[in-house]
Amino acid sequence: MEKIAVVGAGAWGTTLALLLAGPDRSVLLWEKFPDYARQLAGERENVKFLPGFELPENLDVTDDLALAASAPAVVLVTPSFACRETAGRLAAAGCRGPVLVATKGLEAGSGLRMSQVVAEAMPGVAWSVLSGPTIAREVAAGRPTAAVCAGPDEKLNFFFQDLFSTGHFRLYTSADAAGVEFGGALKNPLAIAAGIVEGLGLGDNAKATLLCRGLAEMARLGTALGGQERTFFGLSGLGDLITTACSPQSRNHRFGVAIGGGQPIEAYLKGQESVVEGYHSARPALKLAAGAGVEMPIVSQVAAVLFEGKPPAAAVRELMGRPLKAE
């Protein structure tokens, strides 16, 4: 079989490439920066994003996007802010798909889900999306994990389900791409909020309260924009929220803890190699919520902390002081 291409050599992209590189299949991993692509190919380890995991012989590394575009299937794992540009370049290079969109986020400005971005940038290309509670290092280490593949083409969902499922990675399918993507995107700013609560030392009661009410926000907006309510209580909603909001390996959680502990936001972000997606998703989420007439008080306070200089403790006080009502 021809090489499956994984476009994006961050921690998650490298992990998905490792999953795909089975005994009867080879993989092409695309890295944007030529110098680092050569380093990956030479050292056979992603020391920057996924240290400690050897790249097998049947996993090749390239910085040639046209080569990745020629693969029979492409897994797109760029940061959300690079999704449109990269998808457009794939299309220009002749990529005919299918594409599995494994990026979780919302496009700045438009608020579009990543599959919508791909559909615009790659007209006519078939796609599915991948989401769920997937800490990269745990998946790479072979720890039991389940995720969900969703999209309008049931046969394509089954194709990717068969392609990725292993003895430790179990993939479910769904027709609700909107719900799956909103779950994967909206949990990120909520995970920042949970980290802030932890950084402030407010305790487990406060964190549990925030996660429950955050899940309600996620479901309100997601269903208003076409998702199915049940999806938000599955792997890509509740499952991903728990993992991202609680795991010390979660970038969004660590970011929130740092903010709650008093670390300056810009200084923290400048020191990170990996992208904190919740930082980029908060404002598009609020724009979508305003257009749909949906309240998102927790995400609103997260945005006020991130972009308006609001002290985290003041944001918590304002949430606790909201008018009382039925659950």
pLDDT digits (tens, 9 = 90+) for 166-180: 999 999 999 999 999
State the catalytic residue, choosing from 187, 270, 287, 310: 187
> Which residues on adjacent β-strands are paired with residue 170?
146
Tens of pLDDT, residue by residue over 114-153, are: 999 999 999 999 999 999 999 999 999 999 999 999 999 9
Structure confidence at residue 222 as a pLDDT band (50, 70, 90)? very high
Please state the rounded mean pLDDT for residues 76-88.
96
Which fold does the domain 4-175 belong to in CATH?
Rossmann fold (3.40.50)
Interior CA angle at 189 toward 139 and 315, to 5°? 140
> Confidence class of residue 27 from pLDDT cuts 50, 70 and 90?
very high
- Written as six digits, the tokens of 215 are 């899940």
Q: With left for phi above 0 and alpha for psi between -120 and 50, is residue 165 left, alpha or beta?
A: beta
In whole angstroms, give the CA distance from residue 306 to residue 224: 25
Q: Cα(77)–Cα(86) distance, rounded to whole angstroms?
A: 10
Cβ burial, residue 326 (10 Å; 0-12/13-18/19+): exposed
CA distance 190 to 78: 21
- Asked if 187 is an active-site residue, the reply is yes
Contact 76, 86 (CB under 8 A): yes
Mean pLDDT value across residues 186-199: 97
Q: How confident is the model at residue 1 (pLDDT cuts 50, 70, 90)?
A: low
Mean pLDDT of the region 46-51: 96
Q: Please compute the mean of the pLDDT values over residues 303-327 and round it to a whole number.
A: 93
Cβ 73 vs Cβ 100: under 8 Å: yes
Percent of the chain with pLDDT over 90: 94
Residue 44's identity, in one-letter code, is R
What is the architecture of the domain spanning 179-320? Orthogonal Bundle (1.10)
Nearest CA-CA partner of 140 in 275, 46, 277: 46
d(CA 231, CA 7): 27
d(CA 256, CA 189) in angstroms, rounded, equals 9
Same fold for the pair 4-175 and 179-320: no
Domain ranges, ordered by start, for the chain = 4-175, 179-320
Q: What local confidence, expressed as pLDDT, does residue 269 receive? A: 94
Residue 2: pLDDT above 70?
no
